[in-house]
Chains A and B, each alone.
Chain A
Amino acid sequence: MLTNTAPVAKLYLSIIDDVIESMRELFTDEGLEDRVLDDLRQIWESKMMQSKAMEDYRKSNINSSNFVLQLPANYNRTNQELTASVVIPNNSGILPTFSLPAGLSYPVQIPAGVTLQTASGQLYKVNVPVVVTQAPAGQPPVSRLAQVIERRESPDPPSTAAPPDASRPPQEAEALSAPAISDKQQQQQQQQQQQPPPPHPKTNFPPGEESALPQQPLVPPAEASQPPGAHFPQPEAPPGESEPNPPPEPATLCASASPCSQLLDFQISTEEALTQTGQLRTNDLDDILKEVIEEERGKAVMARKTVNQSDADLGVIKKLISLLLEVCVCVCTLISLVLQHVLITLVLTTHLYPQDPLNSGDDVVEQDIPDLFDTDNVIVCQYDKIHRSKNRWKFHLKDGVICYGGRDYVFSKAVGEAEW
């Protein structure tokens, strides 16, 4: 069947010829001109050519050209003019094709002013420069032109690949310079860290004693016998230094006066320091005891706080659990209500509205029949014999035309089987 399309086209053309020729006499009897009959033939053939039934016939006849390209004598093929599309008016309904003169091949560039002559003798003048290229069979000319335009635009993208390469060395140079800068910074930091700290004075006095020296340089020894509970306006020693340091060595103090006066002053200062240290010892013990007591008190308070917090946490948890339980109960009640509602509605609908009778869906609705016979694949033919045996059918057909997929096929005999 697929190879039967070309003979079908010839058959159709022969039928057209028979009909036209047989009607010629009748048309003349009616007083009509032959032009009317020719118009009928032309319209009929054009409609057939446009349909898929004559597609193969049209493809097989595409090589036959009906346009002859006549170029002027001064035609120069090397003239590189811009392109434009030319649409030849197609009044005959037949696909226009070109045939080139001898010695020329595609593509052909036609400047303005060239005259084209059809096989039937009609003349067409080209007002715009044209390039005629050979397209594949069946391809429209507009798409070919679009391809040409795209090819001309394509050379631009490759040129954009060059600049990124040139920018690479400066970026690398910047990358190399960046670590050098960071190294310098690190070195500077290291140098700063390595700078030795300023020297501290080498004294072994506790901080309290140092401050006491300039304040009370002439304190008499009698004052040293004060009760141990007295508080002196002196900063307390850190707890870690509960035992005072031993008296300092005289050589470590710095003074600008003479050595003798320095010694005297030093002796006085040491005596004063000794008295002060005794007082400090008692004071320290009191402080220590106080500190211990305070620590114990703080610990007790913290313990009480933790206990209270745990009690609070338990209460919160209990509250949360109770809330969750209440929420669950509410949700369950809601679900049950919804289900009850649905059941009630179902019962009411079943009882209030009558149900469809049994097997009611088996009936063929009248509306389905047009759709059942509605199809584009049709076979019109004559039958010699139609035979049925139970549900097996046999068909003997003849002189038929099959219309399938827009194409027509013919047969003289067709034998078929089908099961219902």
Chain B
Amino acid sequence: MAYQLYRNTTLGNSLQESLDELIQTQQITPQLALQVLLQFDKAINMALANRVRNRVNFRGSLNTYRFCDNVWTFVLNDVEFREVTDLVKVDKVKIVACDGKSESTQNKNDKCQRTSHCTCSIFFFIFYLQCAGGLRTVCCYFSAGSSLIKNFI
């Protein structure tokens, strides 16, 4: 699920206004409008992550900071934004930042679950083979080890 904080941009606000007009003329339903917004969240998150490649530096004085529900809100004064050679000075700016690591941590948790399932199955399989005995046991050990290595890769 993508962050909805980009709905408060020019693009997001114009989309919401357009959907409100279509709802008022009863061309679409509110549920369909919500689906459109969800699709917009995905699209803009993907676009910003994949299609933008620039770096910005800034410096200022921190007026206020707030951290609630894993969302940081800052208010800075007399900020200078610098990008390569461009310099822009702003008297007051508000920063709303969501946790950028929340998706990556979720992915890591899933991977951990997958590896734990694999190891349990391998050990059970080995126990079965020991009971059966013979060459098949050696082959099973080899196959279990290779599958384990593959999971980690």
Contact = CB atoms under 8 A, between A and B. Distances in A.
B139 to A, nearest CB: 47
B43 A383 contact: no
B63 A48 contact: no
A4 B86 CA distance: 10
Interface string B76-102: 100101010010101011111111110
B93 A379 contact: yes
Nearest to A381: B97
B105 interface: no
A116 B53 CA distance: 45
A14 interface: yes
B8 interface: yes
A3 B86 CA distance: 8
B136 interface: no
A18 to B, nearest CB: 4
Interface in B53-84: 53-65, 72-76, 79, 81, 83
A418 B51 contact: no
B35 A408 contact: no
Contacts of B93: 375, 377-379, 404
B96 A378 contact: yes
Interface bracket on B: 35 or more
Contacts of A420: 61-63, 65
A373 B64 contact: yes
A378 B52 contact: no
A14 B15 contact: no
Contacts of B8: 378, 380
A414 B57 contact: yes
Interface string A39-56: 110011001100101000
Contacts of B14: 44, 47-48, 51
Given A11-B52, A22-B43, A379 B11 contact: no
Interface bracket on A: 35 or more
B9 interface: yes
A39 B36 CA distance: 14
Given A44-B14, A393-B65, A420-B65, A384 B39 contact: no
Contacts of A414: 55-58
Interface stretch (A103-111, A265-273, A353-361, A395-403): A395-403
A44 B18 contact: yes
A2 B95 contact: no
B43 A416 contact: no
A372 interface: yes
B58 A416 contact: yes
A18 B47 contact: yes
B105 to A, nearest CB: 12
B28 interface: yes
B120 interface: no
A61 B32 CA distance: 33
Contacts of A413: 54-56
Interface stretch (B19-27, B123-131, B145-153): B19-27
B65 to A, nearest CB: 7
Contact of A32 (B5, B28, B62): B28
Interface string A1-39: 111100000011011101100110011001010001001
Interface of A: 1-4, 11-12, 14-16, 18-19, 22-23, 26-27, 30, 32, 36, 39-40, 43-44, 47-48, 51, 53, 372-373, 375, 377-384, 386, 393, 395, 397-404, 408, 410-420
11 contacts: A30-B32, A43-B21, A377-B90, A378-B8, A380-B8, A403-B10, A412-B53, A418-B61, A418-B62, A420-B61, A420-B63
The list of the 4 closest CB pairs from A to B, nearest first, reads A382-B100, A418-B62, A47-B14, A383-B97
